[in-house]
């Protein structure tokens, strides 16, 4: 290994231990242990341009072991990204570009937010899949316009998380050969040596997935790591490179121990480490020759210029494809989309179908897909129940382009893979499961909201209306809990029209994810005026009104029909009510105070109706809430609704008591 390689690695170590020490918090051990691996990848293989972090054909780099964020920040700083030393000195401080864990859209060059272990490698599977599908879709003879790798650094913790199994198993099956993961095999976690609780043969595990595995690579030898990466690029399978390392490498007294995992080294040990490394520079000082060795501006600019030239030639021969690729990578919708959505809304009104909203969702997908070549759907083994396929869709297979993914029983993996697809660009991913299994996906949903990316999560079988499958499958708390995730847009439509609007809103939303929640049971169509159809987009609107209204009935999804039935009963008894459909409370809450007051006027008692927990609804100043505050039961849906008091009779009775 050359002396400059050693010096480049030591620069990472110095920056990591100095930044963690100054912040008095952080994880110096991983950056110090993976420094040579970083030199090998970032100086000899990674295709990127610090001057344009969003270049379409750049390699993607994911730091799955995100607690070691100073490794990535050091790399970004040293290679020339817009991350000055002042930001490294501000590590883990308020509003810095160097937060405790890497955050997408905060720091130039960070491809995804990582920290919850296992999700980084899973995002990377999504990125690699997006690359493969885009290449199959857009590349032409003599024009490999999409041709890049996805590299992942990950540790023992990522491999312990069950999501890594879900994602890596699928990656092997789909032969994502441009996915290369480098495992930091240091045998240490915060609790100490991992062998008592993590003793599996990881290499065999990945071989069983269908991965190419390169064993026993010296993670402190730049040439050895570089040769392994070069070999990985020749494989027709995804590759795991097993890099044996010592956590905190360079620290005379703490290397190889858990003491260096999640705490500063301390001034005394840092001084000893500097001496041991021969790093005779003050904190946060990097010699110019080291900067020069690390800087990637010249090479990156040339790589992008070469690609731009190739893309220009591609555009001359395939102008439509070039324009389409640029549109999709920019996240813009086609000119036809809005027209297609508008036409489909009219179709919904004309047909006036009484169907389950899961079927209404499928009909919306079918209608909108022709205007959305970037649609990439899927389901966690429940396609026939979730209804996320459409007539023209094609299954994704190892050697076949497609736009519908059979994720298998991998709800968490599916959701995090979708996030990776969205982050890569070029596709709008959606994936489905039963609503109750959103629990399995929860942290990936949260990450999508945190990153503000366009992932569309489809959840069907949304309540006790599921019926005979019983309380294990019946959602009670799930809708409310999804609404509590900041920046998660949640829709629970009541019929075909609201389902179409929900899909339109999710597709058009560029700054965050959406959860679309649909029923198993049939829901009657509700006639509306054009203005009412337009108002659906506001999340809540007046569906039926009477100038003599004595109360407001608020409902979502299948319970809107109950509100309408109760209103009819009350009318026959001489009691008028206003009915408010609230398909998206999260959207309604963002409207102006004036609009919200016009929908929910002061002075009228409000009664909310939803087949789920009641606590969420009290924030709207309700006089009463009809819901389900226990787990469900196994019985036909109609029986359950009666059992839990979700009937027109009971709702009408409550109104009479409240007015």
Annotated catalytic residue within 103, 131, 411, 559? 411
Q: Which among 580, 542, 562 has a CA at the least distance from the CA of 653?
A: 562
Question: Distances in Å between the alpha carbon of 199 and those of 62, 116, 182, 294?
Answer: 25, 22, 19, 37
Q: Judging by beta carbons within 10 Å of its beta carbon (0-12, 13-18, 19+), is residue 44 exposed, middle or buried?
A: middle
Cα gap 522→178, rounded to integer Å: 45
Asked about 36 being catalytic, the answer comes back as: no
Cα gap 510→336, rounded to integer Å: 17
Cα gap 29→198, rounded to integer Å: 19
- Cβ neighbours of residue 561 closer than 8 Å, sequence gap 6 or more: 494, 523, 524, 526
Positions of E strands within 385-426: 404-406
**Do the strands 606-609 and 551-555 form a parallel or antiparallel pair, or are they unpaired?**
parallel
Q: Where are the alpha helices (DSSP H) in 45-196?
A: 69-79, 85-89, 119-138, 156-160, 162-173
Residue in the structure block whose two tokens are 């398909």: 583
Supply 541's token pair: 């609107």
Supply 555's token pair: 């409902």
Cα gap 351→328, rounded to integer Å: 32
Cα gap 490→457, rounded to integer Å: 9
CB 553 within 8 A of CB 578: yes
Question: Distances in Å between the alpha carbon of 536 and those of 46, 163, 367, 561, 583?
Answer: 47, 37, 19, 16, 8
Assign 3-state DSSP to the chain and report helix, strand, coil percentages, each to 5: 45, 15, 40
Q: Judging by beta carbons within 10 Å of its beta carbon (0-12, 13-18, 19+), is residue 653 exposed, middle or buried?
A: middle
Q: Which among 82, 8, 13 has a CA at the least distance from the CA of 42?
A: 8
Cα gap 485→440, rounded to integer Å: 15
Which phi and psi (to 5°) does residue 526 adopt? -115, 115
Q: Judging by beta carbons within 10 Å of its beta carbon (0-12, 13-18, 19+), is residue 278 exposed, middle or buried?
A: exposed
Edge-first strand listing for the sheet containing 428-434: 404-406, 375-379, 428-434, 456-460, 514-517, 489-491
- 3 state SS of 128: helix
- Cβ neighbours of residue 131 closer than 8 Å, sequence gap 6 or more: 60, 146, 148, 150, 178, 424
Which phi and psi (to 5°) does residue 140 adopt? -130, 165
Residues marked active site are found at 411
């Amino acid at each position: 290994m050359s002396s400059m390689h050693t010096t480049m690695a030591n620069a990472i170590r110095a920056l990591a231990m100095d930044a963690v020490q100054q912040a008095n918090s952080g994880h110096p051990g991983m950056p110090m242990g993976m420094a040579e691996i970083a030199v090998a990848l970032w100086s000899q293989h990674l295709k990127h341009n610090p001057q344009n972090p969003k270049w379409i054909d750049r390699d993607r780099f994911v730091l799955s072991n995100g607690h070691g964020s100073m490794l990535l920040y050091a790399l970004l700083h040293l290679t020339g990204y817009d991350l000055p030393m002042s930001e490294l000195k501000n590590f883990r401080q308020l509003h810095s570009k160097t937060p405790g864990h890497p955050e997408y859209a905060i720091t130039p060059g960070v491809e995804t937010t990582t920290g919850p272990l296992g999700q980084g490698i899973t995002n990377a599977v999504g990125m690699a899949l997006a690359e493969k599908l885009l290449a199959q879709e857009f590349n032409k003879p003599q024009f490999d316009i999409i041709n890049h790798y996805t590299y992942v650094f990950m540790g023992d913790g990522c491999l312990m998380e069950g999501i890594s199994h879900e994602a890596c198993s699928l990656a092997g099956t789909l032969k994502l050969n441009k996915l290369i993961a480098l495992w930091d095999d240091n045998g240490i976690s915060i609790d100490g040596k991992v062998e008592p609780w993590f003793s599996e043969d990881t290499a065999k595990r990945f071989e069983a997935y269908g991965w190419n595995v390169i064993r026993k690579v010296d993670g402190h030898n730049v040439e050895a790591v570089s040769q392994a990466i070069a070999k990985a690029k020749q494989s027709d399978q995804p590759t795991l490179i097993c890099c044996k390392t010592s956590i905190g490498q360079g620290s005379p007294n703490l290397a190889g121990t858990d003491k260096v995992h999640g705490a500063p080294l301390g001034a005394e040990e840092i001084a000893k480490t500097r001496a041991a490394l021969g790093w005779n520079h003050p904190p946060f000082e990097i010699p110019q020759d080291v900067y020069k060795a690390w800087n990637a501006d010249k090479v990156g600019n040339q790589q992008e210029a070469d690609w731009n030239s190739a893309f220009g030639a591609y555009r001359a021969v395939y102008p439509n494809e070039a324009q389409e690729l640029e549109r999709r990578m920019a996240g813009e919708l086609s000119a036809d989309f809005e027209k297609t959505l508008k036409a489909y809304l009219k179709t919904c009104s004309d047909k006036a179908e009484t169907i389950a909203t899961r079927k209404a969702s499928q009909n919306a997908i079918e209608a909108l897909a022709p205007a959305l070549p970037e649609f990439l759907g899927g389901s966690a083994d429940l396609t026939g129940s979730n209804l996320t396929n459409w007539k023209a869709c094609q299954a994704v297979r190892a050697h076949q382009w497609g736009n519908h993914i059979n994720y298998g029983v991998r709800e968490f993996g599916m959701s995090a893979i979708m996030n990776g697809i969205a982050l890569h660009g070029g596709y709008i991913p959606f994936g489905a499961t039963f609503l109750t299994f959103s629990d399995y996906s929860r942290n990936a949903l949260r990450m999508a909201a945190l990153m503000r990316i366009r992932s569309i999560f489809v959840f069907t079988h949304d309540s006790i209306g599921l019926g005979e499958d019983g309380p294990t499958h019946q959602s009670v708390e799930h809708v409310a809990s999804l609404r509590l995730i900041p920046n998660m847009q949640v829709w629970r439509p009541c019929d075909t029209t609201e389902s179409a609007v929900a899909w339109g809103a999710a597709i058009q939303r560029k700054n965050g994810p959406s959860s679309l929640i649909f029923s198993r049971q049939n829901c009657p169509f509700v006639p509306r005026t054009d203005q009412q159809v337009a108002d659906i987009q506001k999340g809540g609107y007046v569906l039926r009104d009477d100038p003599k209204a004595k109360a407001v009935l608020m409902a979502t999804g299948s319970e809107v029909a109950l509100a309408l039935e109760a209103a009819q009963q009350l009318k026959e008894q001489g009691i008028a009510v206003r009915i408010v459909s609230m398909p998206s409370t999260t959207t309604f809450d963002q409207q102006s105070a004036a609009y919200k007051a016009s929908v929910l006027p002061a002075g009228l008692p409000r009664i909310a109706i939803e087949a789920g927990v009641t606590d969420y609804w009290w924030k709207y100043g309700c006089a009463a809430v009809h819901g389900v505050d226990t787990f469900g039961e196994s019985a036909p849906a109609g029986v359950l609704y009666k059992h839990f008091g979700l009937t027109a009779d009971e709702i009408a009775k409550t109104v009479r008591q409240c007015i």
